[in-house]
Amino acid sequence: MKNKFKITFYVIILSNIIFGQIYERNFSPIYKSLILPGWGELDLKNEKRSKQFFIQEASIWLSFFGLKYISNTYESSYKAFAALHASTDLENKPFQYRVDIGDYNTYNEFIDSKRRNRQTDLIWPENLGYEWEWDSESNRKEYDDMRIISGIAKKYSKFAIGAMIANRIISAIDVLYIQNVQNRGKLRSSISNINASSIEYTVYLSF
């Protein structure tokens, strides 16, 4: 799932990079909106709707980078905090290990709990850098709060990527709607079969 979000993000980035390269080409408004929401609406001279999509896209990107910043900042903080107050290094440690040290004051307390619950397969191996001991319960709780905030921010940053995709799809659908409205009710006429006694005049009304 993590790799899937990364790939999606890179595709969106690439799409916006080539935006400038295709600006002068005669691309369909639908394709333009799939690249940058609001671009297709702008191409159809609907500046009001275009502005709405531009604002939405900017808001999503700001949310994404803001949430990533919060997640990374709190992650760095709780890693340093655990090293200082629990004597453990969280670099390259599994996610579950980071959860466990926030639930138990010491490594021995963690082992005792798992043995009582007959979950010995969940015990982290000894003498491999998995031991920890918090200097106070309040510091353990503070660490866990930081870890949770980091995780929530990271989760919502992934939702922002989904919002980017949705915004492009909605913009493309909106372009189809605008095109349909613009084409509806258009009159076309032609003159044919001109002769001395008559003129054939045809009117086409499209809906």
What is the arithmetic mean of pLDDT over 171-187?
A: 78
Strand, coil or helix: what is 64?
helix
Q: How far apart are CA 191 and CA 201, in angstroms?
A: 5
Q: Does residue 181 belong to any structural domain of this protein?
A: yes
pTM: 0.70
Q: Does residue 122 belong to any structural domain of this protein?
A: no
Q: Does residue 92 belong to any structural domain of this protein?
A: no
Q: Domain range for residue 196? A: 2-86+154-205
Q: How far apart are CA 104 and CA 24, in angstroms?
A: 61
Q: What's the total number of domains in the chain?
A: 1
Tell me how crowded residue 47 is: count the other CB atoms within 10 A of its CB: 12
Q: How far apart are CA 55 and CA 25, in angstroms?
A: 24
Q: Does residue 172 belong to any structural domain of this protein?
A: yes
User: CB of 39 within 8 A of CB of 178?
Assistant: no
pLDDT tens, position by position, 130-173: 999 999 999 999 999 999 999 999 999 988 888 899 999 999 99
Q: Does residue 127 belong to any structural domain of this protein?
A: no
Q: Does residue 27 belong to any structural domain of this protein?
A: yes
Q: Does residue 8 belong to any structural domain of this protein?
A: yes
Q: Does residue 18 belong to any structural domain of this protein?
A: yes
